[in-house]
Structure 1
Amino acid sequence: MMGDAPQLRGLRGHAYAARSSYRQPARLLTREGGEDLWVDIQNDERAVLASAYLSDLRVDPPLGTAPRKVTFPDGAVFETTDHDAIEALTGKTRGSLLHHYENFNARLFGVVAVCLAAAWVMWRYGLDIMASVAIAFTPPAVIEQIDVGTLQTIDFAMAEPSRLTDAQKADVNKVYRRLVQSLPQDVQDEHSFELLFRDMPGMGPNAFALPGGTMVMTDAFVNDFPDANVMAGVLGHEIGHVVEQHGLKRIYRSLSMYILIAFLAGDVGPILEDVVLEGNVLLSLSFSRAQETSADEFGLSLSDASGFDPAGLKLFFEKLDEEYGDQEPPQWQSTHPSSAERVKAIDAYIDRL
């Protein structure tokens, strides 16, 4: 009961009189007022700046080491850093328990350790689970919009219309159709598997897949690697990324990380809108080494099943190794296994085939 609260014999702090911005030293005092306590603010000259019953006061919840504010009905404010005295006067208030755990003491190290351990477990195991669940509930229209938004960003920022001849495009499309037709029918129905061509001088010979099945091949690749077996190996690799949903997994894993960071540190911005409408987040993602290895094996198997020589993928990476050697790899290859490592892995996989 408020009437049972102890009387204060001069709680030191500062005060603002009603309708005044002048901050002055003051004391908060209490005295009996019947069933309730009567509370006064006095300045150093013992002038009473404000008075009211304790039950009529508004006391702000505690926040770290910030001063507690006591607001009187007429607008006068008293503030003090003596949290214990305010709590003794008012009893437990909203936020008192949280403020208790915010205080710096040995227990805080344990709380921080538990939080870090929980964050690590979430990062190590929970993000992949969250990504898998998100993929299962993602409508096809959203995935299609991711492809559209990403392609628009690519065309705006780094790509030019293809300069390949119709005959060159037809040759690549013939290889691509054979690969797609070797996939199970349900997989074919699930994705668009559209092949597009772009002139991207800064990227060199390359091909990449977007989550919905849109495939982009650079002019440099078609010009440098006209061999159908090489095309089949690289396109099969990219089809593997689509079928095994590597792009979506990377997007949702990244989004899950943002959610985890937001949970720990606050809002991080309209990430989902950025992904769906602009595709910028997708462009910033790279496949992991494990995903690259898995896509290599998928491409080798698909090439073999489609009647192509799976060693074509090996020829592609041997050429890359000759061209780049020990130099810094291009940005798109930054998290990929080295070409030499992939050639060895491809040889071992072909032996198993």
Structure 2
Amino acid sequence: MGDAPKLPGLRGHAYAARSSHRQPARLLTREGGEDLWVDLQNDERAVLASAHLSKLRIDAPLGSAPRKITFPDGAVFETRDHEAIEALTGKTRGSMLHHYEGFNARLFGVVAVCLAAVWVMWRYGLDIMAAVAIAFTPPAVIEQIDAGSMQSIDFTMAEPSKLTDEQKDEVEKVYRRLVRSLPDDVQEKHSFDLLFRDLPGMGPNAFALPGGTMVMTDAFVKQFPDPNVLAGVLGHEIGHVVEEHGLKRLYRSLSTYLLIAFLAGDVGPILEDVVLEGNVLLSLSFSRAQETSADEFGLALSDEAGFDPAGLKLFFEKMGKEYGDQEPAQWMSTHPSSAERVRAIDAFINELR
């Protein structure tokens, strides 16, 4: 610090030691041996404090806030002349950071880079993090997610199924044929339990939870008793489970929240919501790409199990006639009626043939 330049008089305000009186003052430097000597004077040139430069405590710069210099006896000098302070102390980590934080043309480039990094993270990073999270998620946790979700469903919206045993048996036969057509390792990985619920106001619906729990509404079984239609829709839902769409959507949606929660040290409420109550999972919907992938999976699976894959097409056509251009109520993996989707199914069936 001995090579620091002398200041003819750095203007600012000062507080004498053990005083709260703020007064105009200036900072001056002079030779003091190996170290520079610094004097704090008021406008009457009375010396309020003196010390070697190395003994002063100089606060790091913070935006446009005044820099504060504290003398050993407690006297304080404040100034907004950041450049003069930097000339006195030389380049420091704090002064360099303050320089880069300042508003200048470079800032636009930094903002652009940050936005690009956020986009890359959103576009690619979240999927990678979700895949890693799924790989490290214990099966017991996934089973608990299914159990917690079903508890929420039964508590808030579902009533016991009013289907007859014969109706349930017919659907079970279709479902088991589909499951038996899956590779052995896939069958062992998931539970593939089929449940029936009466969900007033939901209409014909079927959905799958991440662990393999499958739910079909009474309205669906009554309106679509055709085994080929049942196979197409159940195969679609099995596709969501096998391709882990539910967990991918869950981890993508919660990645930012979970990161903040882990950093803050309070993950209890969100983990309880996901694992024990399942409320977050119930609010998610599958992406268009995932729906298309599940359609193709269901078509191939129903064909492999000996059903007519056109059954899924019949389902969408009937829903289209009933709802027209209006999409039915969206909830979990509800299937929206779409002419484009029907055309995609026709194209896929032609490839199967």
TM range (shorter): 0.7 to 0.9
Alpha-carbon distance, 1:222 to partner? 2.7
Which residue type is aligned with residue 56 of structure 1? K
Correspondences of 1:175-214 after superposition (within 5 Å): 175-214=174-213
TM-score normalised to structure 1 length: 0.84
Distance 2:195 2:114 in 1: 47
Alignment partner, residue 160 of structure 2: 162
Moved more, 200-209 or 267-276: 267-276
Correspondences of 1:250-261 after superposition (within 5 Å): 250-256=249-255
Alpha-carbon distance, 1:302 to partner? 1.4
Correspondences of 1:1-353 after superposition (within 5 Å): 2-18=1-17, 23-156=22-155, 158-165=156-163, 167=165, 168-256=167-255, 270=267, 273=271, 274-327=273-326, 329-332=328-331, 338-353=337-352
Against the structure 1 CA distance between its residues 323 and 19, is the aligned structure 2 distance closer, same or farther, given a 3 Å change threshold?
farther
DSSP-derived class of the 1:212 partner: coil
DSSP-derived class of the 2:207 partner: strand
Distance 1:71 1:347 in 2: 79
Q: Which runs of 5+ in 2 are unaligned?
A: none
Against the structure 1 CA distance between its residues 269 and 96, is the aligned structure 2 distance closer, same or farther, given a 3 Å change threshold?
farther
Against the structure 1 CA distance between its residues 129 and 93, is the aligned structure 2 distance closer, same or farther, given a 3 Å change threshold?
same
Distance 1:315 1:93 in 2: 72
Distance 1:207 1:32 in 2: 85
Against the structure 1 CA distance between its residues 165 and 70, is the aligned structure 2 distance closer, same or farther, given a 3 Å change threshold?
same
Distance 2:308 2:282 in 1: 31
DSSP-derived class of the 2:331 partner: helix
Alpha-carbon distance, 1:249 to partner? 1.9
- Equivalent pair of 1:288/1:336 in contact (CA under 8 Å): no
Which residue type is aligned with residue 34 of structure 1? G
Alpha-carbon distance, 1:174 to partner? 2.8
Aligned length: 347
Identity fraction in percent: 80
Distance 2:277 2:73 in 1: 53
Moved more, 199-208 or 296-305: 199-208
Distance 1:198 1:170 in 2: 14
Distance 1:12 1:293 in 2: 70
Alpha-carbon distance, 1:176 to partner? 1.8
Distance 1:296 1:104 in 2: 52
Distance 2:55 2:152 in 1: 59
Q: Any idea what the Cα deviations from partners look like across 1:315-335, whole Å, max 9, x if unmatched?
A: 221122122212355233899
Which residue type is aligned with residue 160 of structure 2? S
Q: Which runs of 5+ in 1 are unaligned?
A: none
Q: Any idea what the Cα deviations from partners look like across 1:184-209, whole Å, max 9, x if unmatched?
A: 11000011112223333343321111
Alpha-carbon distance, 1:244 to partner? 1.0
DSSP-derived class of the 2:93 partner: coil
Against the structure 1 CA distance between its residues 292 and 82, is the aligned structure 2 distance closer, same or farther, given a 3 Å change threshold?
same
Distance 2:46 2:212 in 1: 78
- Equivalent pair of 2:319/2:337 in contact (CA under 8 Å): no
Against the structure 1 CA distance between its residues 120 and 173, is the aligned structure 2 distance closer, same or farther, given a 3 Å change threshold?
same
Against the structure 1 CA distance between its residues 228 and 335, is the aligned structure 2 distance closer, same or farther, given a 3 Å change threshold?
closer
Alpha-carbon distance, 1:181 to partner? 1.5
Moved more, 49-58 or 296-305: 49-58
Alpha-carbon distance, 1:5 to partner? 1.7
Against the structure 1 CA distance between its residues 7 and 281, is the aligned structure 2 distance closer, same or farther, given a 3 Å change threshold?
farther
- Equivalent pair of 2:207/2:332 in contact (CA under 8 Å): no
- Equivalent pair of 1:288/1:335 in contact (CA under 8 Å): no
Q: Any idea what the Cα deviations from partners look like across 1:115-160, whole Å, max 9, x if unmatched?
A: 333333333333333332332333223323333343344344x422
Alpha-carbon distance, 1:256 to partner? 4.5
